[in-house]
Chain A
């Protein structure tokens, strides 16, 4: 049962434009959400997170939006840069649980 889903395996965006990565979840008990970025041959790197008490969190070029009623979150990157090309994973957890539940990932390619 895939509790966290990233339905777009890949996304291609022109440099300077906005990249929007989407993630859906099914478990309403999830109350904390994270985005990780992964380059080849490296482990995932923490990018940004959001608690379920918020609907938006911003950090520089990265903004995460949470829509609890739709069980949907998105990551916006603006402006997109070539170094943003990587695989992006969303992950979720809930209070009392230690594990993160990951989506399948979306490969983002930024074209010059």
Chain B
């Protein structure tokens, strides 16, 4: 399978704990994106990498969120001190061109 992969698929955590998600993009794609989707809404942009450089961050990405893409390959998204409002589906996408983004299956986070 050469698509975008994400790990884990599901994560249940207690409020206040830290969580980290991983995304492996399609190998020849240099652009990588993180989105968040809540129930009944479309995906909302969080952040964007071109190679290893984080070039854009949404105001949705509070100080508790940090994303990295070391060596321009896989990416991690960490949420510190999770809150119940962080419960959502976290989607990763990659692309070679700016517009046609290919999404992974997502990580569903539940904060109890």
- Chain A residues engaging chain B, CB cutoff 8 angstroms: 4, 9, 32, 34, 36, 41-46, 49, 89, 91, 93, 97-105
Contacts and interface: CB of A to CB of B under 8 A. Distances in A.
A98 to B, nearest CB: 4
Contacts of A9: 40
Quick one: which of B4, B43, B50 has the most chain A CB within 10 A? B43
A104 to B, nearest CB: 5
B104 A43 contact: yes
Given A98-B55, A98-B56, A99-B33, A44 B43 contact: yes
B42 A104 contact: yes
Contacts of B98: 93, 97-98
Contacts of B55: 98
B56 A34 contact: no
Given A44-B91, A91-B42, A100-B101, 16 more contacts: A4-B42, A34-B99, A41-B105, A42-B106, A43-B4, A43-B104, A44-B43, A44-B103, A46-B100, A46-B101, A46-B103, A49-B99, A49-B100, A98-B31, A98-B98, A99-B58
Given A34-B100, A46-B100, A100 B105 contact: no
Nearest to A95: B98
B48 interface: yes
Given A49-B99, A98-B33, A103 B48 contact: no
Quick one: which of B43, B58, B99 has the most chain A CB within 10 A? B99
B65 interface: no
Contacts of B105: 41-43
